[in-house]
Every structure is written in C-alpha cells, then in structure tokens.
Structure 1
Amino acid sequence: MGQCRSANAEDAQEFSDVERAIETLIKNFHQYSVEGGKETLSPSELRDLVTQQLPHLMPDAQEFSDVERAIETLIKNFHQYSVEGGKETLSPSELRDLVTQQLPHLMPSNCGLEEKIGNLGNCNGSKLEFGSFWELIGEAARGLKLDGPVPGS
C-alpha cells in the first residue's frame, strides 16, 4: 500500500480528511517514539503521548488534541459509511466506497484493495467490524512515507 504511493508535497490533489487524520496519527507517534526508533514506543513514551495528546482520556480534560481529533475523524467516517447493517459494521461494498473515496492517495486501486477486503474480518465477507477497518488504517499508516505535509493539512 505505502509502496504504491507516498504522501508528499508534490501531490497536487487535495487529501481527504481520513488521509490527513492518518498523517496526524503517524506524525504524533513518531514525535514520541525516540528511545527505540520510530516504530515503537517505550512505556514512558506511551505515557507521555497519552498524557499530552489524549488528555480527554484523563480526568478534567478540556480541549481535544490533534490525535483525538484524528481518531474522531476515523470513527465518524466509519459510521458515515456503515449504512446497510448498522453503525457497528461495514459491508465489503461500504468499505470499498470508504477506501476509494476517503483514501484515494494512500490506497489507490492498484494496491490490491479487493484482496485486502477479502483478508479482513472472519465473517465470510459479509460484515467488517471497526477493528478490521482499524487494521486497514494501520496498514495504510505503516506503509506511508511522509516526505512533506499532506496537502490541506
């Protein structure tokens, strides 16, 4: 997926809200992943990230952080596309629509979308839960190379 296309300043098209949300999550993760490299967080780094970027998980928090807004964007988009079977699942066609409309730069059609959809979830392809969507987002994030800011962010 990330091998198919990376987000960089040369991309002329506007990135979707979901793509910008993924960029925010990756940037914030990398900002805190210092001790063991960019792919992992130590317990203290995770504590710092949660305390500083996810303060609403802590008592008496006031404003949402960038990471919280990015997660909220992902959840809202999942619910926006989950029409057929309720807000908790996506049909393969709903997931296909979400990915093609909201992740056109991070997961173009030539990156094996149908195979990825087939590999997600264990429900004979009938419905995909949020966890399966999150796996797909994680795959998009792992493959993403941020050479510059995502357009529109």
Structure 2
Amino acid sequence: MNVVSSAVGPARLTSALGLALALALAAVACKKDPPVDSSPKDAAPTTGKAGVVASCDMTTVVGSCNEYAKLSMGLEKGLCQGLKGTFAEGAQAGCPTKDEVGRCTMSDGEVRHYYGLAVGAHGFTAADAEKDCVSSPEIGGKFSPAAP
C-alpha cells in the first residue's frame, strides 16, 4: 500500500515542482546580458609616456616612482596602493622628471626613478640611488644618472 493515501500529497509535490520551474524560467528570462566589450582582445594597452602602461608614484613616501611596460594581473596596483603610492594607467601613466637624480632600468622593462632630497628626507643622493639600483638583488638593474 502506498504511504501517500490522498491525492493531496502528489498534487502538492507537482505544484511545488511547477512553481520552482516557473521561478527558474523567470529568473533566466529576466537575467540582464552583460555589456559587450567591443575592444579588440589583442589590442596593446594604452600608454602614457612612450612604452609606459602604468606607473606608481611613491615620491612623497619613499623618494621613487616606478614605470611599468607591462602589468602582472593587478599585482603592481595592489603593491602601489599598499605602499601609499599613486597608481596611474594609460594616458595618465608616467613619472615626473622634476628633482630626479637618476633612474634604474630593470630586465623586465620596469624603470624606477629616484628623486633627490628636495622631495624630503626620504629622497636619494645620486650615489645612493645607483647603489640601490645596482647592488640590490631584488632590483639588479642598470643605473642612468639624470641629465644635469
């Protein structure tokens, strides 16, 4: 003998399934399509200064500013913001040249600009900037003094 003795049990189950199906269809029908990105997928990122796609200006915090030729999935932006720097992308990207004592070009295309003591006690002398660039195992770049 069937445990469900009345027609109310199966009818209630059928109604519940019907309601669930109707709600699911309504949700799918009302779902908004995401905006379509019409930009070409292989397009090069917009740049500010020649070849610079982004920059992190930490001049007021640590006396340097970094320019990036490419980005690593937002890592640079997160680090910049964590160090209280100002992150810029595209046409706004680039480091200032005022008070620059030199720059360090790294193997991955990143360029670190060093600024003198005019930016504060955290600024660099040209000798300290060169030492930071060349001697640091994390950086290991090629130093170029700023033009006089």
Sort the TM-score into its range (normalised by shorter chain): under 0.3
Give me the TM-score of the superposition, normalised by structure 2. Answer: 0.23
Larger RCO: Structure 1 or Structure 2 (Cα < 8 Å, ≥ 6 residues apart)? 1
Higher-Rg member (1/2): 2
